[in-house]
Structure formats: structure tokens, C-alpha cells
């Protein structure tokens, strides 16, 4: 079971908007992808009673779970996985650039041109 205590997965504010627009409409909660994945994982591991308790504790609806599962299945929540990318330049390229600069500086010194 995942402990979500202290997790800032959503803004936890369901009240009137403080924007001063005067509409008096409640502000929708927003949930981070990390939060959604953690809830889905905990929900999938829980039995029926624990699932209900989880939904009540987090003030969620089963429709949230259904939508988040569809998003996860469709790959929408895949963006959370750590991305591995190669460095912008390899060590050899960095070393080559350094040597080129040194070579240019040496040639300028030999020619009598000081930068």
C-alpha cells in the first residue's frame, strides 16, 4: 500500500475561486500524473473495502479511476517514466573542441597575434 501522506498530488482545495471573478463556481481539483499513478497502483492492489476507503479518503469517484486507467492504457501517463538520453556531447567531442581551441591559440601565438 502506498503512503500518500504529505504528497502534494492535488491542490486539495475545493472552494470558490479566489480570482475575484464573482462567479461563485467551485474550482476543479487538478491532479499530478505521479499522484494518479500512485492512486491507481494502490487501488489495484486493494480489496473491495479498501478501495472504498481509499476513494473516500482521497475524495475521489470511481469515474476518476476509470478515466485514469484509460489514460494509463493509452500511454498518456507514460511521460512520468524517467527518460534516458545521451549527453549532448560525448567526452571525445568535448576533448576535441578543447584541443582545437588550444591549437588555434598556439597558432595565433606563433604568428605573433595576441588575443
**What is the per-residue pLDDT for 16?**
46
pTM exceeds 0.75, yes or no:
no
Give the residue, 90 or 96, on which the prediction is more confident: 96
Least confident interval from 24-33, 60-69, 84-93 = 84-93
**Contacts (Cβ under 8 Å, ≥6 apart) of 72:** 36, 37, 40
**What is the per-residue pLDDT for 46?**
94
Q: What is the pLDDT of residues 11-52, one digit of tens each?
A: 555 544 455 555 788 888 888 888 999 999 999 999 999 999
**What is the per-residue pLDDT for 11?**
53
**What is the per-residue pLDDT for 41?**
93
Kindly provide the b/e burial profile for residues 97-113, where b requires at least 16 CB atoms within 10 angstroms of the residue's own CB: eeeeeeeeeeeeeeeee
- Counting residues of the chain whose pLDDT is more than 70, the rounded percentage is 71
Amino acid at each position: 500500500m502506498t503512503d500518500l501522506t504529505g504528497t502534494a498530488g492535488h491542490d486539495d482545495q475545493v472552494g470558490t475561486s479566489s480570482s475575484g471573478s464573482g462567479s461563485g463556481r467551485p474550482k476543479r481539483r487538478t491532479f499530478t500524473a505521479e499522484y494518479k499513478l500512485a492512486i491507481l497502483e494502490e487501488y489495484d492492489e486493494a480489496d473491495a473495502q479498501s478501495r472504498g476507503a481509499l476513494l473516500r479518503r482521497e475524495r475521489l469517484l470511481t469515474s476518476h479511476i476509470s478515466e485514469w486507467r484509460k489514460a494509463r492504457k493509452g500511454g498518456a501517463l507514460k511521460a512520468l517514466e524517467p527518460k534516458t538520453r545521451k549527453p549532448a556531447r560525448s567526452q571525445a567531442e568535448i576533448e576535441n573542441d578543447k584541443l582545437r581551441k588550444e591549437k588555434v591559440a598556439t597558432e595565433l601565438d606563433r604568428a605573433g597575434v595576441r588575443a
